[in-house]
Amino acid sequence: MRIAFLTAPEGVEEIELTEPWQAAKSAGHEPVLVSTQAGEVQGFHHLDKANTFPVDEVVGEASAESFGGLVLPGGVANPDQLRTDEKAVAFVADFFGQGRPVAAICHAPWTLVEADVVRGRVLTSWPSLKTDIENAGGTWVDEQVKICDHGPNKLVTSRKPDDLKAFCEAFLDVFAAEAG
């Protein structure tokens, strides 16, 4: 299965990109780095620059139809940039419209809020997003991983890098089941 990993050009929390990427690859999937610009994305370890990663596809040219699922890594700056990019927001919303599974960790649900896809859903995130999620019609819970199947697709969310092992296991199980 091709899995889109959507990031902004700068600000993605590196471990929230690399660990799910490797987990997807190890499970036999094809991870594809999608960004709002061609070139490379800059990873971060909290506020410090880390490695760069080559972009495979640009979001304005990519289609949700060509992917089996979507992973949204966190970092504070990453989803903050994505939620101001109309094409990125439309790309995320398209996964929900097509009923494809989505996984988001840490601050990544900001992009889900902007795409107006959290209404009626139960999800988790970094705690500072609680009010944003609730104001967008979602229910926020403080759990390591939350799988919500309200609506046409499943949504897997997680709080922080410490939850990555459980997050990876959950989204891989959900994506495999959805691929059926």
Angle at 42 between CA 38 and CA 46, to 5 degrees: 150
pLDDT tens track of the chain, all 180 residues? 999 999 999 999 999 999 999 999 999 999 999 999 999 999 999 899 999 999 999 999 999 999 999 999 999 999 999 999 999 999 999 999 999 999 999 999 999 999 999 999 999 999 999 999 999 999 999 999 999 998 889 999 999 999 999 999 999 999 999 886
Q: Which of 106, 148, 150, 168 is catalytic?
A: 106
Catalytic residue (choose from 29, 45, 46, 107): 107
| Cα separation, 163 vs 8, whole angstroms | 22
Residue 5 has a pLDDT of 98
| Cα gap 138→161, rounded to integer Å | 22
At 104-118, the pLDDT tens digits run 999 999 999 999 999
What pLDDT is recorded for position 152?
82
Fold of 2-179: Rossmann fold (3.40.50)
Q: How far is CA 125 from CA 97, 110, 149, 163, in A?
A: 22, 9, 17, 11
Q: So where are the chain's domains?
A: 2-179
Per-residue confidence (pLDDT) for residue 77, from 0 to 100: 95
46 assigned to active site: no
**107: annotated active-site residue:** yes
